[in-house]
Amino acid sequence: MTQIMFGFALTFSTAMIVIVADVALKVAADGNKPVLSLLVIAGCVLYALSALFWFYAVQHLTLAQAGVGYSMLTLIALAILGAVFFGETLQAREYAGLACALMSMVLMARLA
């Protein structure tokens, strides 16, 4: 596996961990859970774990490559999860933002 592919795999793993943490925090917030609830603590622990993955990801990628990959993955996944599981609606500007995220990933991949 090349350095770049390994770096993107670590970036993808970082994004997946953060997405799970974000969902846990959203469920806790929507349920009016206290800050010291299990969901909030789990979200915080997952964020800390994601920092370790991020550390190793940026050893194999430029910060720009890792940042765009991470941002694109989290933007798209969280928009979909928000719409499907939390009933949030996507407006034209959100669709435009998602399209920009995809285009930035394509541009960064070409520069790699």
Tell me if 53 sits within 8 A of 10, measured CB to CB.
Answer: yes
Give residue 42's Cα distance to chain centre.
16
- Above 70 in pLDDT, residue 47? yes
Q: Which one is predicted more confidently, 69 or 25?
A: 25
What is the reported pLDDT for 98? 87
pLDDT value, residue 41:
97
Confidence label for 102 from pLDDT (cuts 50, 70 and 90): confident
Q: Taking residues 58-64, what's their average pLDDT?
A: 90
Nearest to 4 by CA among 58, 49, 67, 85: 58
Q: What percent of the chain has pLDDT over 90?
A: 65
Cα atoms found within 13 Å of the Cα of residue 31, Cβ hemisphere only: 13
pLDDT of 109 reads 64
What's the whole-number mean pLDDT along residues 11-33? Answer: 96
Among 112, 75, 70, residue whose Cα is nearest residue 96: 75
Domain boundaries, the chain: 3-111
Query: Is residue 45 over pLDDT 60?
Result: yes
